[in-house]
Amino acid sequence: MSYCFPPPKPNFCPHCGLPLEERYIPEEGRERLVCAQGHIFYLNPKVVVSVVAVREGRVLLLRRAIEPRRGYWTLPGGYMEIDESVEGCALRETHEETGLNVRLAGLLTILSRPAPTGPGIVSIVFWGETQDGELHIGPEVLEARFFSPQEIPWDALAYDTVREALRTYLAKQKELGAHPPTST
């Protein structure tokens, strides 16, 4: 996943093509983007779906090959498409970025990072076990590997949402019924 920060605002109305300007809407009690014909453009958060994908108690992290945050570690995940479910997005992103299939075990957490201090996203994080198979990294990934809890590169994580998702996973591991790391 990569966040566009700050979140972009459109300049033109998608209904009629006239310029949009910020105007106070008394009925809604806040400023909105409005065109001269009165069409309101609602600026809502984007949905990002990620997965804490686990194998033998180790979590899968990917090192980003693209800016922003090139070289930093992140979870498999990305922006949800308009024509897919959250679960479908989780499976698709994990497969595109790593070649692995994951069996989703459940919802881990939901995080929000509101604009303007954040990128204006809702981050939905699942967890699950990866199925057998070899790692085949996609073009947006430099490297992918499984980390035991002790090995997680906390100082080199790409986003605070990744940090928070991993902390939540480690704190809930027992309650989730996740297997502890094997010693091999």
Interface with Zn ion by CB under 5 A: which residues?
13, 15-16, 35, 37, 39
Q: How far is the CB of 44 from Zn ion (least distance, A)?
A: 18
Give the nearest distance from C-beta 45 to Zn ion in angstroms.
22
Task: Compare residues 39 and 172 and give the one whose CB is closer to Zn ion.
Answer: 39
Output the smallest distance, CB 28 to Zn ion, in A: 17
* Nearer residue to Zn ion within complex by CB, 15 or 23: 15
158: its two tokens: 């790409």
Length of the chain: 184
Min. distance of Cβ 37 from Zn ion in angstroms?
4
Closest distance to Zn ion from the beta carbon of 12 (Å): 8
Query: Sign of the C-alpha dihedral, residues 8, 9, 11, 16?
Result: positive
Nearer to Zn ion, 37 or 112 (CB): 37
**Which CB, 25 or 171, lies closer to Zn ion?**
25
HEC string of the chain equals CCCCCCCCCCCECCCCCCECEEEEECCCCEEEEECCCCCEECCCCEEEEEEEEEECCEEEEEEECCCCCCCCEECCEEECCCCCCHHHHHHHHHHHHHCCCEEEEEEEEEEEECCCCCCCEEEEEEEEEECCCCCCCCCCEEEEEEECHHHCCHHHECCHHHHHHHHHHHHHHHHHCCCCCCCC
Nearest approach, Cβ of 17 to Zn ion (angstroms)? 7
Q: Which pair of tokens denotes residue 17?
A: 């093509």
Closest to Zn ion by CB, 19 vs 153, is: 19
| 13 vs 157 by CB, closer to Zn ion | 13
